Chains A and B, each alone.
Chain A
Amino acid sequence: MEWADFTAGRTGDLHGRAIREMTNTTNTRRDTLFDVEEMELNFGPQHPSTHGVLRLKLKVDGERIVDCYPIIGYLHRGTEKLFELHPFFQNVPHTDRLDYVAAATNNLAYVGAVEKLIGLVVPPRARYIRTILCELQRISSHLLWLATHAIDIGAMTPFFYCFREREIILDLFEEYCGARLTLNCMRPGGQPFDLPVGWGERCAEFLDDFPSKIDEYEGLLTNNRIWKKRTVGVGVLPADLAQEYGVTGPMLRASGVQWDIRKAMPYEAYGDVEFDIPVTYNGDTYDRYLVRMEEMRQSVRIVEQCLDKLPDGLIMAKSPRVLKAPKQSDAYFSIEGPKGEIGFYLVGDGTPNPHRCRVRAPSFMNLQVVPILAKDQLLADMVAVLGTTDIVLGEVDR
């Protein structure tokens, strides 16, 4: 049985039909524009707006996209296998390289899984520091998304403004852990460093300033008719399809589903702080933009509260020198990353190494709906659709 038949009858047969038509070689003549045959077009893997090495096989009828078939694996590094070869703590740097624009959330998801597997209790100060880092990371990831998404669509100015603010966040990261992108800023059981002297004030200074910067981006884009023309009604994702495909994060919330792991299953310090989950209901590219802009404001709120409430005390739990998982144990821990639910499933076998590790990567799940979003769109909107899903190929291919 072909995969096309397997998927037929589910998900409105959209994906199944797409695959069947891609593989069907006998029936190529169809009623098309100007009575010519459909053209196959390769989008990527070197195209700059695929944000990595994603290859899309497009079938176009004139300017309309008839079919879209993503081909992945160009960045496959075997990370999950690599995890089995190293002790638990040594795998943290490898998680930096999954979603390489949001390393802190990857670190937290992995480290949280290890703590759940072994049963370590993290001191409160470390939990607050982790929350601060993750929310700053969310802002920086969304800024990078906005910058590249806008420049893909044709708005160049937000790119410079977004990178200006992202730079300040990366400087804060550099001050805390010594790296800007591949942070490696968490360890199983706690945090490796305490916050440097004056870091909180500099962070608060940035947070005071940042909402006015978001207003700047919104002033450039939100009511801009050109921006609206390119985004409103483009790539509509209905809520039921989003849930069936396992789409998470801002993509899901823009379709009207109020699901956020920070609220649903609070981890770290999220239970102690107040914040709202932005939800919109149209599920198009413009709504996803609105959701992410609002999420940045909420992240600012969370970090401010965490800085206020930051408790004193230890930053590292008392843990054995060599972390060993119990025999025949497993744990799944997931958090709300900037792109959606990122989770790690670890199986322990009594040795210092994980027996098996599986990464639930939000970009991979979100990429599945790209063929549905792209269907019947104009070729120029393919770039908008791809930008709005906010995929990172390091995470898709792993």
Chain B
Amino acid sequence: MSNLNALTIADAREKLRAGEITSVELTEACLKAADAAKALNAVVHPTPEIALEQAKAADARLSSGNAPDMCGIPLGIKDLFCTKGVASQAASGILKGFKPEYESTVTTQLFDAGAVMIGKLNMDEFAMGSSNETSVYGNVINPWRRGNDETALTPGGSSGGSASAVAADLCLAATGTDTGGSIRQPAAFVGITGLKPTYGRVSRWGVVAFASSLDQAGPMAKSVRDCAIMLKAMSGHDPKDSTSAELAVPDFEAMLTGNIKGQTIGIPKEYRMDGMPEEIEDLWAEGRAMLEDAGAKIVDISLPHTKYALPAYYVVAPAEASSNLARYDGVRYGHRAKLSHGDGVTEMYEKTRAEGFGAEVKRRVMIGTYVLSAGFYDAYYNRARRVRALIKKDFEDVFAAGVDAILTPATPSSAFALGQEFDDPVQMYLNDVFTVTVNLAGLPGIAVPAGLDMQGLPLGLQLIGKPWEEGALMNVAQALEDRAGFVSKPSKWW
């Protein structure tokens, strides 16, 4: 059988269980595809030996029967996850050479479920970016192009390596993390499905921290069903993460009936932005029609504080980042600057951090330091936290009024050219305008590929759900996926 690497998790699961294919064959197909895709720069630390060892173990488990859903499935793991004995750098120079002595809870659970790791995936440095241009490993390239135009496009960020790897079939699915849109925006830019779970659903232990009150890991995969399968394996209470919820993990996949008759879907008027391309408007209207066709009731809603989400985010996230990234001091792990005669610890900190961090990370750490500094704490940080409470209340109000899920565009544009927005940080931040509200409110959100723009690039729609109701949310996403019928793949040039 050819192109095993192009299978979905659900299809591979059936073939593995039926004995039609082995995990070793599937894994080899992915490793071969990854090896041939160096031009995408998505896989930055390939782990073929670990992969084949895991695949053999998975095959043994499969042949004994009773193997879990993820058994034998090759995945890519974002570089933000600590993986024991394998480079885990968060795409930063400051963690060069860092090989954790421990395994993150998410990868532990995935490996316990029999999943296979083909390698660590590129990303924006410390997950700070929307184009994967801040990585110490260099840019990730989107497998999609504008027709025959060879301009290199961004896969989005920060989970750009995960997006590119899944879209190019280098693995069946990948882990991502999402602090302001870092799963959903790249998923939309490459035509795959990406889910950010409710805050607290997935353990953050062993995931390099960016902004702890916003960070959440989730699946990036080729279908809603695959996201459901993978999320189940990633989720659950973890005593090592004090914000991890003590809630049972439902069988998300069993909830994907695609039947959403009688459900109420809200369309928020504040997401209609000035200067938004007409194609995005049209896609949004099509999505609305698709859900209506599925039997849902569509209502116009208002989320009045939407406009203030990005400014609040750019106070809260840098503040938390400046605190989290204080640990990179050149003492315990990673890079330490070469010191001059007479340099003390302060010089060691300052030189190490100047050399180890990239420009965007420095910018955000310093903004965070500023908004937390004496005299500005109330004016910036506390104000932003109060606005955040209002943003969350906007959602609570519409859910209380009977809305089951909210439909919005996933991004304000399709994938743009690398370099295009890199020089203006604020312009870059606007990429997350539709996704960042969800992180501030701690809600689950999913990006579903829904069409192509005039340049032939994928566009996604976002659905936002109630807290802890990822299953119901993915069921709406399933109804959308069924009707959008998105099957396009990038033509292979790499």
Partners in one complex: no
